[in-house]
Amino acid sequence: MKRAALSALVIAAVVISGCAKLLQDDFESYTAGEVPGGSIPGSPACDAIETVGAATQFSVGPTNAIAGNQSLNFEPAFADEVSRIDFLPCEPSGNDHSIRFRWRGRFQGPSSSPGVQVRITDGDDQLFRAYLLFNVTRSSIEIGSAGTVNHTIEGDFSRPHAVVARIVPGTPDQYFIAIAGEGVSASDAAPEGNLSELVDFRPRDAFLRMLWQSGASVTETYLVDDVIIEQGQ
Ligand SMILES: [Ca+2]
């Protein structure tokens, strides 16, 4: 009870009102089994999803849904193939506003799994672009940038969890994160820091990417729901 209240406070501290939505998908308006792709149903009109991989790796359905009746079920490919999904927001009004990324997730797989990667990035070529990396496994979320892990959050991420990450452009660019989930201690729940990158983060080019680095050696999936990208002040 206490933990839930604290988590709510942490999320509330990062989520402030009055922001323009650049992307929203709750996966409720898809047909069960549908593969998301192209324009996302509903408002805003200009957001989209792009997938790379076989259709069987991305399906919307009711199994273990996190919020509402349906969630996205994202599975790794076999062998060394990459599978990924990009959430592409409408273009924000400039590079000087903060940008916030939110999603709910649920990792299903054994503890031996290397996990799923989530990247907040402003370009495909990561080596020379700014990005924030989340590696989500059953028992931890590692958060880093420029190849360095800055925070390791422990919890039971086989249970539904929520992540909010805000990037504030500046010198340096800063990030503020809030993680709510079972077993996450209040002292770990709100990591923040500076993006250690060679170049400035560009909100106008930013998107959310989720990917499995390598093929499946075990049965695993990442359930995703309530993906929201917003422009801040
Ligand atoms: Ca949903």
Q: Which CATH number covers residue 148? A: 2.60.120.200
Number of H helices, E strands in the chain: 1, 16
Residue 61 CA to ligand 1 centre (angstroms): 9
> How many angstroms does the Cα of residue 212 sit away from the middle of ligand 1?
22
118 Cα to the center of ligand 1, angstroms: 19
Sequential DSSP letters for 8-38: HHHHHHH--SS-EEEEEE-S-SSPTTPPP-E
pLDDT averages per 10-residue partition of the chain, 233 residues: 52 59 97 94 95 89 95 84 91 91 96 91 73 95 91 98 96 95 96 85 94 76 97 87
CB burial of residue 156 (10 Å; 0-12, 13-18, 19+): middle
Q: Is the pTM of this model over 0.95?
A: no
- Positive or negative, the CA dihedral 203, 30, 84, 191 is positive
Q: What is the pLDDT of residue 231?
A: 95
pLDDT of 2: 47
- Predicted pLDDT at 123: 82
**Amino acid at site 39:** S
Question: Which letter, b or e, does each residue of 191-212 get, where b requires 16 or more Cβ atoms within 10 Å of its Cβ?
Answer: bebebebeeebbbeebbbbbbb
**Residues within 5 Å of ion ligand 1 by Cβ?**
26-27, 67-68, 225
CA gap 67, 69 in Å, rounded? 6
pLDDT of residue 1: 41
For residue 186, what are the domain limits?
Answer: 2-231
Report CA(223)–ligand 1 centroid distance (Å): 10
Rounded to the nearest angstrom, the distance between the alpha carbon of 103 and the centre of ligand 1 is: 11
User: What are φ and ψ of residue 230, in 5° steps?
Assistant: -135, 150
CA of 28 from ligand 1 middle (Å) equals 5
> Distance between alpha carbon 130 and the CA centroid of its chain, in Å?
16
Spacing, Cα 26 to ligand 1 middle (Å): 4
Count of domains for the chain: 1
164 Cα–ligand 1 center, Å: 17
